[in-house]
Structures are given as C-alpha cells and as structure tokens.
Amino acid sequence: MRTRGPLVDERVSMKHGAGGRAMRALIRQVFAEGFAQAPVDGIGLDAMDDGAALRLGDQWLVVTTDSHVVHPIFFPGGDIGRLAVAGTVNDLAMMGATEVLALTCAVILEEGFSRADLERVQKSIRDTCQEAGATIVTGDTKVMGKGELDGIVLNTTGIALTGRVVPDSGLLPGDRIIVTGTVGDHGFAILALRRGLELEGDLRSDVAPLNDLVRRALAAADGALSAMKDPTRGGLASALSEMAQKSGVGLILEEGKVPVRPVVRAAGELLGIDPLHVANEGKAVLGVRPEAAERVLAALRAHPQGREAEIVGTCIAEHAGSVILDTGVGRRLLSEPEGELLPRIC
C-alpha cells in the first residue's frame, strides 16, 4: 500500500488545477507513479517538464499536450483558440523544439454552442498556426448535453523535432535568469474582465506563440542556454521555484528588474495580488550561462516579442530549491501562490 502523507486530499479541488505545488503533488501521486515503471529513453512523465522528449536516432521527438478551459472564451488580446495553439507551440519551444511538425486539435462542445463563435475560434486557431508556422493535421469533435460542460473545451497536442533538448532542470550556480518581457498581463486581463474592473490603461493578454523568439535566443546562446520554462499558471514565482527545485540551485530574483506594466502593477496593488504570481501566455524564462547572458539578451531585444526582456536574477549554490526575492529594501523567500488565484485562466 502506498503511504499517504497528512496532506493527501481525498477529493480533487480547484487548487489541483492551479499549476502550483498541489497540482504537481496530484500528478506525482496519481499519474506519474503509475508510469515511472515504464522508463522512456529521454524525458518522460516523471520529469514533469513542459513536454516529453523521446530519442529518435540522433534527434529528439518532443511531444506535449494541453487542455484549455478559459472563461470567458474571448478576452482582450486573444481567445481560447489562440491560447490553445500558442500554449502547445510554447510548451514545445520551452523544450528547445521550435520547429513544429504538427498539431492536433480535439474540441468538446456544449449542446447549443453558437456556430458563429465556433467559426471565430476556428479562424483564430488558423491565424495563430500561421503565425507559428504550424498546422493541424488531425482532430476530434464531441458534443455534450446542455449543462454537462461550459461551452467549449479544446485539447491540443504538438510534436516537434530538435537536436538538443532544453530541460527545466539545467540551471547551474552563476547562471543568469532572463525574462522575455512584462509579467502578469494575461492573468490580470482575464481577472479584470471577470470582475468588471475598469482601469485606466490597456489590460491585454500577452498570449502569443514564442517559437520564433526562442529560435533567436537558442541561436544566440549557442549551447549556453541551460534551462527554459514558460511562466503560465502560478506566474513567474511558480516557474522559478520549479526550475530552482529541479536544478538544485538557489535563485536570487531582483524585484525591481522584473518588467511589469504600470496598469498591471496598479491592478495588483488594488486587488492585493502579486504580479509575480499571475499567469503569462506569451513570455519565457531563460537560464543562461553568465558569459552568454548579454548576447542572448541582445538577441531577444532585437525581436518584436522580446523588446522588454531583462536579466532579472542569478543562480547561487546556497539555498538550493529556493527563490530569494530581493525587494531593493530587503530580502525574503518568494513562495508559490497558495491555492487557486483564478480558476479557468487557460
């Protein structure tokens, strides 16, 4: 019998979908354990990375899958279709696989869903695929009864080949941490929409496929990119905690260096929500060897999606697994968000 710690929940709750510790524990306890006995040649479920990487001759086949339940399905800056394509393309890119071979798309619809909305979503999927140089090669369609589902759920799977896999876990002491742009945009756009918040300024989701930006970064880094992750649910805080834990390094994050749009900062102060805890859908966090940091930063800034990139932190040997936030006036540990900040965000 499996030993159960005191914190094993008997039922699934919203926190298990929040992208933080509770979700990782659930995956580890329920899913990863069952498949650890069948080791794959490469990166499998037990690594809990953005996707899997399977050896294929001298190449790696990267596979990832993603379900999308965002509410509402249309929001400033994007929609569920763009989110699905970008999310999957980005999960591949975060493994170092920027050349997308193919995507699949499964759709589950609620009885009564508007045909016009469906066509709008389809067009968005098509446009975003074009932007990413990807295409959908197969799919599946199911309809459920009224009330059995809220509108629409999309699932996308992506595959891509790469010569070199970039894991979450490759950070070394001395590595610099780069974030490719402003944080918190997606989460606050959804939050403001749902709560009917009217703020001066434009709260827009940053949802976008990042494979071209990552392609530039990989080329500039020339092997010096040690780790990569997209800070989606749980925000920059969760992404960095996970990278630090998996890599066995400590990490000092300089709060003042992290780019945050003024309107996001204002919304954060107003709602008491830290932008570092809020989801992004068009940003990446990169770990880079120190000597290549400026070079990679310059390459990112030369790309339209990376103009606001910044070096925001440094890895250290002490405090392995922890993220230390330097606030400018003091220091503390940066914790991951507790529970579900905002369900159905992607």
Partner 1 sequence: MLPRSADPAAGELKFRDPPTARALTGALARLLAQIGRAPVAVMHVCGSHEQAIAKFGLRAVFPRGLDVIMGPGCPVCVTDCPEVDEAVVLAGQGVRIATYGDMLRVPGTAKSLADAQAEGARVHVVYSVAQAAELARTTAEEVVFFATGFETTAVATAAVILRDPPGNFSVLSAHKYIPPVMEIVAEMPGTRVEGFLAAGHAATITGWGIFERFVDRHRIPVVVAGFEPLDILAGLVKLLEVIHDGRPRVENMYPRCVTRDGNRRAQEQLWKVFRPMGGRWRGIAHVPNGNLRLRDEWAHVDARRRFRIDVSGLWDEAPPSLAQHCICGDIMAGIASPTDCALYGKECIPDAPVGACMVSSEGTCKIWHQYGGHPDLRSVG
Least Cβ distance, residue 100 to partner 1 (angstroms): 29
- Token pair of 85 as six digits: 């394509």
Least Cβ distance, residue 37 to partner 1 (angstroms): 31
Give phi and psi for 278, each to the nearest 5: -105, 145
Give the strand order in the sheet containing 59-68: 42-43, 52-56, 59-68, 152-162, 100-110, 136-144
**338 near 344, Cβ under 8 Å?**
no
**287 near 226, Cβ under 8 Å?**
yes
The CA-atom distances, in angstroms, between 269 and each of 142, 188, 263, 275 are: 42, 12, 10, 9
Residue closer to partner 1 by CB (options 124, 314) is 314
Residue closer to partner 1 by CB (options 222, 269) is 269
Contact positions vs partner 1 (CB under 8 A): 6-7, 15, 250, 252, 256, 259, 261-262, 265-266, 269, 272, 307-308, 310, 314, 316, 318-319, 322, 324-335, 338-339
Q: How many CB atoms lie within 10 A of CB 114?
A: 10
CA distance 186 to 324: 24
Among 282, 279, 264, 285, which residue's Cα sits nearest to residue 344? 279
**210 near 87, Cβ under 8 Å?**
no
Residue closer to partner 1 by CB (options 164, 331) is 331
Least Cβ distance, residue 325 to partner 1 (angstroms): 7
Residue closer to partner 1 by CB (options 151, 337) is 337
Least Cβ distance, residue 305 to partner 1 (angstroms): 13
Residue closer to partner 1 by CB (options 18, 97) is 18
Residue closer to partner 1 by CB (options 125, 342) is 342
Least Cβ distance, residue 317 to partner 1 (angstroms): 11
Least Cβ distance, residue 93 to partner 1 (angstroms): 22
**323 near 241, Cβ under 8 Å?**
yes
